[in-house]
Amino acid sequence: METQVAAPLLLLLVGVCLARREEYYDDVPDVGFTSQYGPLWPLPQKFQTSAVVFKLSGASFRIVDAKESSSGASCALLQNAYRRYFNYIFPSTKKQGHNKKKTFVSALSELQVWTTSADSDCDGFPDVTSDESYQLSVDSSVAVLKAAKVWGVLRGLETFSQLVYEDEYGAISVNRTEINDFPRFAHRGVLLDTSRHFLPVKVILANLEAMAWNKFNVFHWHIVDDPSFPYLSRTFPQLSQQGAYHPYTHVYTPSDVKMIIEFARLRGIRVIPEFDTPGHTLSWGKGQKDLLTPCYSGASPSGTFGPVNPILNTTYEFMSMLFKEISTVFTDAYIHLGGDEVDFGCWKSNPDIQKFMEQQGFGTDYKKLESFYIQRILDIVSTTNKHYMIWQEVLDNGVKLKPDTVVNVWMGNQLEAELEKVTGAGFTTILSAPWYLDWIGYGQDWQKYYLAEPLSFKGTDAQKKLVIGGEACLWGEYVDGTNLTPRLWPRASAVAERLWSDKDVRDVNDAYSRLAQHRCRMIQRGIPAEPLITGFCPHEYSGQ
Ligand SMILES: *[C@@H]1O[C@H](CO)[C@@H](O)[C@H](O)[C@H]1NC(C)=O
Ligand SMILES: *[C@@H]1O[C@H](CO)[C@@H](O)[C@H](O)[C@H]1NC(C)=O
């Protein structure tokens, strides 16, 4: 009896397994294909190369400021970058160069870096208008990297380092190349979530480094949420004292935050913090009395709490002081104010809120109450001279927004209609919906991220111009310092190329060839980027 049942069941299971495998193996790229672009990632906009090879000697090669450059030795950002990239180009054993005595027939002796704009932005912060374009020319014994601003230099140094390879005899080489490059989208972000799990500063820094290798330029820091409040506020220290997982070991101190922002700046990366309200705030309530709405069960409080209490003056006094602090701690012109997934159940249960709804004439439309709250938060943040980003619900629910608001679209259903609507209303838009990297499954999902096209919705050219980029989001429910890095890379790299390269760069075979090499390069540079599929790297990851 048992075996009779088991046999068909087994067949069924085998069938399911085969079906699954087939589904994924259908779109496996041709792993034998080699891209003519070598290991470049993301692919530059204009690229020309030839078979003429120059050799580089670790003992004599230099990255130098061009005489004509507007930024010289006093630009710490560039000096810092030269050191980083020198180390990438010459991994430790090659620094002295076993070719020291050899003189090459055609040697590349230096890379001259030339910022052409009178103000190279050396001491500034990157912003959404930053010029990241650059030109790179390797065609004689001196290579030239030219950019208006330091931001373009950073992108160009990364590209130069990707052009350099070890030939079959171990000599460091680079082919004659001309590149003219610029990003397709101005906002290319990665969202990390430090509330569901605390991410040690070291892990954040390592991923900022990897972001720079992929030409990402925004770190969207979803810093607090329901589970924990790791941001140490000078004005309200009890928020992290009570709301963090641990008040000393699981917090970001003011100096941590400062270090992260500076580390990011040196790599041309903006840090946009998200302080999401009125939902997603349970951890806030632990250190700030009366901030959250008490939920009711029948006529009496149930002991649980809901979203921020929007009917108390003290709420707005608190928010004013907190956002005043945040606006000085974080240097970027934008703050993300969240506004997603507000659960109305608790508000509905609370008699004081019911009374307030009546007084305001909101009827039973709790979206109006949410709008009332958000409107006031937006006004508060406006007085700090910051601009704001919000999740799409805020617009969907009819909140009146300042015209410079950036709307973050994250919902996958009816995505194209939403993009049409948001851009139709004239708002600058950032797209996250296709790139929720916390959703994992069997197979090569990088292709799905890679092929997602941000501008495929119906709309005028003016509407499409309003989409300024997108973000790869790695929410933290199942992610902490143990698995963040391999889960993010190289899957986020697929998003990086979609947002940097030309829209017609969509060949999955070509992408696979370059991405597999890019992943091995990330491993060689020290981060555990997970494999795309069966294969190997010349230098395997062996832990640190
Ligand atoms: C660089 O030059 C070598 C030697 O001529 C050639 O085999 C190789 O394909 C070239 N690489 C690229 C990316 O053009
Ligand atoms: C809240 O502030 C408003 C405007 O300043 C004021 O009219 C109102 O009385 C205050 N409410 C409470 C409960 O203090």
> Which of 35, 52, 53 to mutate to test ligand 1, by most ligand atoms within 8 A of the CB atom?
53
The yes-or-no verdict on residue 190 having pLDDT over 50 is yes
- Ligand 1 midpoint to CA 175 (Å): 6
pLDDT number for residue 11: 41
Token pair 């903006």 in the structure block, residue: 270
Q: How confident is the model at residue 21 (pLDDT cuts 50, 70, 90)?
A: very low
The yes-or-no verdict on residue 423 having pLDDT over 60 is yes
Is the Cβ–Cβ distance between 336 and 388 less than 8 Å?
A: yes
Ligand nearest to the CA of 38: 1
Just list the catalytic residues: 341
- Ligand 2 midpoint to CA 313 (Å): 6
HSE-CB for 139 with a 13 A CA cutoff = 9
Q: Is 51 in the pocket of ligand 1 (CB under 6 A)?
A: yes
pLDDT number for residue 91: 84
Is the Cβ–Cβ distance between 322 and 384 less than 8 Å?
A: no
d(CA 519, CA 513): 10
The yes-or-no verdict on residue 19 having pLDDT over 60 is no
Ligand nearest to the CA of 35: 1
DSSP 434: G
Q: What value does the mean pLDDT take over residues 189-218?
A: 98
Q: Facing residues of 409 across strands?
A: 431
The yes-or-no verdict on residue 98 having pLDDT over 80 is no
- Ligand 2 midpoint to CA 475 (Å): 38
pLDDT-wise least confident of 6-20, 156-170, 243-257, 481-495? 6-20
Q: Is 178 in the pocket of ligand 1 (CB under 6 A)?
A: no
Q: Is 53 in the pocket of ligand 1 (CB under 6 A)?
A: yes
Residue having the nearest C-alpha atom to atom 3 of ligand 1: 51
Residue having the nearest C-alpha atom to atom 1 of ligand 1: 51
96 SS3 class: coil
pLDDT number for residue 94: 63
Q: Is 165 in the pocket of ligand 1 (CB under 6 A)?
A: no
The yes-or-no verdict on residue 24 having pLDDT over 70 is no
Q: Facing residues of 467 across strands?
A: 429
DSSP 350-408: -HHHHHHHHHHT-TT-HHHHHHHHHHHHHHHHHTTT-EEEEEHHHHHTT----TTPEEE
Q: How confident is the model at residue 419 (pLDDT cuts 50, 70, 90)?
A: very high
Residue having the nearest C-alpha atom to atom 6 of ligand 1: 51
pLDDT-wise least confident of 16-25, 119-128, 172-181, 206-215? 16-25
Q: What value does the mean pLDDT take over residues 459-478?
A: 98
The yes-or-no verdict on residue 136 having pLDDT over 80 is yes
Q: Is 175 in the pocket of ligand 1 (CB under 6 A)?
A: yes
> pLDDT, tens digit, for every residue of 426-436?
999 999 999 99
- Ligand 2 midpoint to CA 311 (Å): 10
Query: Which residues lie closer than 8 Å to 299 by C-beta, 6 or more apart?
Result: 351
CA distances from 161 to 44, 82, 89, 166 (A): 13, 11, 6, 12
pLDDT number for residue 18: 40
- Higher pLDDT pick, 106 / 522: 522
The yes-or-no verdict on residue 99 having pLDDT over 60 is no
Q: What value does the mean pLDDT take over residues 518-528?
A: 97
Ligand nearest to the CA of 49: 1
Peptide bond into 183 cis (omega under 30): no
- Ligand 2 midpoint to CA 310 (Å): 13
Atom of ligand 1 nearest to the CA of 49: 14
- Ligand 2 midpoint to CA 312 (Å): 8
pLDDT-wise least confident of 16-30, 79-93, 128-142, 249-263? 16-30
The yes-or-no verdict on residue 467 having pLDDT over 70 is yes
The yes-or-no verdict on residue 74 having pLDDT over 90 is no
67 SS3 class: coil
Burial class (CB in 10 A: 0-12, 13-18, 19+), 275: buried
d(CA 113, CA 150): 10
Q: Is 205 in the pocket of ligand 1 (CB under 6 A)?
A: no
Q: What value does the mean pLDDT take over residues 13-23?
A: 40
pLDDT number for residue 32: 79
- Higher pLDDT pick, 155 / 30: 155
Q: What value does the mean pLDDT take over residues 236-260?
A: 98
Q: How confident is the model at residue 27 (pLDDT cuts 50, 70, 90)?
A: low
pLDDT number for residue 25: 40
> pLDDT, tens digit, for every residue of 250-261?
999 999 999 999
pLDDT over 90 percentage in the chain: 87
SS3 for 167-236 is CCCCCEEEEEEEEEECCCCCEEEEEEECCCCCCCHHHHHHHHHHHHHCCCCEEEEECCCCCCCCECCCCC
d(CA 43, CA 113): 21
Atom of ligand 1 nearest to the CA of 163: 13
Q: What value does the mean pLDDT take over residues 449-473?
A: 98
Q: What value does the mean pLDDT take over residues 214-240?
A: 98
Q: How confident is the model at residue 517 (pLDDT cuts 50, 70, 90)?
A: very high
- Higher pLDDT pick, 99 / 396: 396
pLDDT number for residue 102: 53
Residue having the nearest C-alpha atom to atom 8 of ligand 1: 51
pLDDT number for residue 9: 42
The yes-or-no verdict on residue 511 having pLDDT over 60 is yes
pLDDT number for residue 525: 96
> Which of 41, 175, 513 to mutate to test ligand 1, by most ligand atoms within 8 A of the CB atom?
175
Ligand nearest to the CA of 171: 1
Average pLDDT along the chain: 92
Residue having the nearest C-alpha atom to atom 9 of ligand 1: 51
Residue having the nearest C-alpha atom to atom 10 of ligand 1: 51
